[in-house]
Structure 1
Amino acid sequence: MKLYLDPGHGGTDPGAQGNGIREKDIALDIAKNIKNILLAGYQNIEVRMSRENDTTKSLSQRTSEANSWGADFYLSIHCNAANGAARGYEDFIHNSLGSTSQTASYQNIIHAEVIKLNKLIDRGKKKADFHVLRESAMPALLTENGFIDNSADAALIKDPLWRQRVAQGHVNGIAKAFSLKAKPAVPPQPPKPVDPSNLYRVIAGSFTNRKNAEERSAALKNKSIESVIATAEISGTVWYRVQAGAFSTKENAEKQLETVKKAGITDAYILSDAPPAVPSEPKGYSILGVTHLSPEHMNQYAKQVNPNAANLGSFYSAIGEYYGIRGDIAFAQAMHETNFLRFTGDVKPGQNNFAGIGATGNGAAGASFSTQEEGVLAHIQHLYAYASTQPLPPKYPLADPRFSLVKRGSAKLWQELNGKWAVPGTNYAESILNIYKNMVRFSDQKLEAVLKDVEGS
């Protein structure tokens, strides 16, 4: 089945406007969702769109293209506008067609499926002499998905999840009308083991001036690409690397690299941080090092387990970077200590004690901190005490009340915290690293989901 999918208006023609939204943008978003869902979920379906971005295209160009391609069905996506009071959904076939025509049959099916999901008033099935309905050589339907100038409809239209539901309604109707067969389900594959010491990092720029790195990071954010700034000292010079993701597989890193380059960052590259083999060094994962995962990934992972989890990722990323501590693994340690910020042990939420500092068991609640940031600061400083023999850097005041009780430099590896941070703590570090591995795996899965959307659009 060949579907010609036509997002109305575009380019110099914005279509209807109201309540801060434009018809051309909404129509394109719904149409892209329709295409993605159809191609991902159904067999023997081809989709050609009249436009896939904000370009100008005449009505005659659209129908001529659909006719030349030999489409089986023409679907035009629109939104409505009237006097600010009108509301609802309606769709149109050409007014020359009778109620028993094949096109009317398609309209009946698709209309019913869209109405099931769109939460709009049903304004009915209608007919009109619109160009795309008259000049198309195949059955054609034009749908009007709410009134942009009505505040109630506009509130729905602005919601991307609503637009996905509307797209799903159209897809359900098309699949039913044309007897499309769903693609067979792909059996889930067991997750690949993740080695947190061997990640592939996408570097979207490396600068000796931190301001330049911050500007690059902001430019990426404007392109909906999250990044963190990591420092590295090379031949005595400090470099600020803009890291746009860290992945357990090179394949995922290469996909992200392609996305970054498409955003205009042509000098991006992949850096693998597998540690060199040094026989004299013990095997394990260093507490000191670069934070690979972004604050957003940390927060999103925590909310997968506890939807009410506070957003601590930015604190662990920024403070960890300042002290040279692996902020993402420290975040995993906080998740272990607090049962994903549910605080089911001796420490209570209001203490902002995410590391269990001073909570020695038997009901001892331990230290309390005035803010979440201070609690994270104390946690990172406590790790710094274990991992380094250097004095505390001067930017922050000492927040860790037990800093002086730690034997400095006594645990340079996470595994060396066993029996020190937690007693007896035989598997303490392993539990932390398992959470971190799951965080990395979650990062890969999120990328896969995004890439499926991108590849289908």
Structure 2
Amino acid sequence: MGRIFISAGHGGLEGGLLDPGAVAGNTTEAQQMILLRDQLVPEVRRLNLEILAVPDDLSAADTVRWINSRARSGDIALELQTDAFTDPSVSGATAYYIANNSDRQGNANTVLKSLLRRVPELSSRGAKPDTQTGLGRLPFCREVVIPSILLDVGFLTSPSDRTLLINRRKDFALGIAEGLAAWLQELNGLVPSIPETTYPAINILINKQSYEEQGILINGNSYLPVDFVDRLGVNVLAQESLRLVQYQGVVYVKAIELRNFNITVGWDKDTRTLILSSIQAICQGQLDRIMGVGNLSEVQMIVFLKNNNASALQQFPELPKLYREEAAVEGVNADIAFAQMCLETSFLQFIGDVDASQNNFANLGSAGGGASGATFPSARVGVRAHIQHLKAYGSLEPIVQEIVDPRFRFITRGIAPLIQQLSGRMSADLQYGDRLLAMVRRLYESAQLL
């Protein structure tokens, strides 16, 4: 059996400078490909195959020369890269082969399909000839003397692809390793044996009605057939953000992503049932308004908090009560404030810069911008400051009680009446509003109000 040459694209010297490749999401293509290569090498060796890694400091031309000087008949070569595009919604993996070579096209399909078996959430852009690249040719596909393929494992500029690559690196490595093994078998005239991936079936309950057709469980995430999504009133074709997976001839949608379309998503682990509901007790138009009356009781808040941190109320046993009382005084939605407290303190675990002793439940800054944030003399005063801070953003109405929020006077009153408008204001994270709204949904789902 031949050997495998593996190159982590970019990272070498090009024109005397280190080439990082694509840059996105506080990482680089070179960094991610080296990490993937380092995960891939031991996986290939576990298959009892010999693999040689190209040194990271070589240029693209030197990479080709390094492989050619060591290659022998029966060897193969693969280069790992990511793609990049100005539109972050563009995603998917592509395997490039030298044009007009049907054998290499088949090999490229083998490697790509093997990767997708392990990472089905990754969309496929197919096996393509190198003439379809921006350069019109790929030296790695044309100048390496042994059979070679360039594998773009996704778009680094795509948040979904980047998240998969970072969080599922081992699955990427397993899929590519199995694809390389199958490629070597093809090269030696053998029928490739790629393990068939199967996913466990799950039951589906929609608006309290069960269905005969089942969903599947992929890496702990529930997926349901796309036909069910139509029944929930979501137009899949119009929603580019939805992650689709094809398995055994059926197209599936990741269930958790339906929360963005006002669908409640739950899970019963005892019966392995995905529970969906489009019939909700709370008006969606009021879900993200900071000012208003909350829907939760003190008990429902306690249950939610303790389900996420069993010891949460040991230090602050009256916190849910305080939030309901203080929010009622100022006309702020207590549910939103409570959900924000859960988000900011990680359910009172205080794993960030703010300490529990500060009674600061919303990561409020001090008037002077101190590094550790504001400190309040009691839990009630800390909650009051949080409520006043939200009211400053959400309303032009005067504050009822004495102002204790140290940054109240710096806020343009009424500039952010909706949760999403807190992004870039209460947090530099531009997805902060989405994260807070997701926490509100979790809170309501826990109370079976969504």
TM-score bracket for this pair, using the shorter chain length: 0.3 to 0.5
Higher relative contact order (CA 8 A, sep 6+): 1
Structure with greater Cα Rg: 1
* Structure-1-length-normalised TM-score: 0.37
* Structure-2-length-normalised TM-score: 0.37
